[in-house]
Amino acid sequence: MKFRVTMKDPDTLYDAIEEAVTESLADVADPDEKEAIAEVRKKRARAVCDKWFSYGEYLAVDIDTDAETCVVVKERS
């Protein structure tokens, strides 16, 4: 059996990107430099995630119970 699931959570992607960027900047001492780099990294991460997330909060996956697979659906441009 095959079916599609669309999940919505407005905070999950934002929080995950925020946490990953914060961890990646642990070694940067200058607060101004850290803030500038963080904004660029968050923007880049969101741009990549836009391939799969609609409006930064909807994610669709196709599930095939026969093949036992779950595939993220690429967002339409």
| Cα–Cα distance for residue pair 9/24, rounded to 1 Å | 24
* Residue at 35 is within a domain: yes
Give the chain's domain count: 1
Quote the domain boundaries for residue 61. Answer: 2-72
| Cα–Cα distance for residue pair 65/28, rounded to 1 Å | 46
pLDDT at 76: 80
* Residue at 61 is within a domain: yes
| Cα–Cα distance for residue pair 57/20, rounded to 1 Å | 17
* Residue at 77 is within a domain: no
pLDDT tens, the chain, 77 aa long: 999 999 999 899 999 999 999 999 999 999 999 999 999 999 999 999 999 999 999 999 999 999 999 999 998 86
pLDDT at 77: 63
pLDDT at 32: 95
* Residue at 29 is within a domain: yes
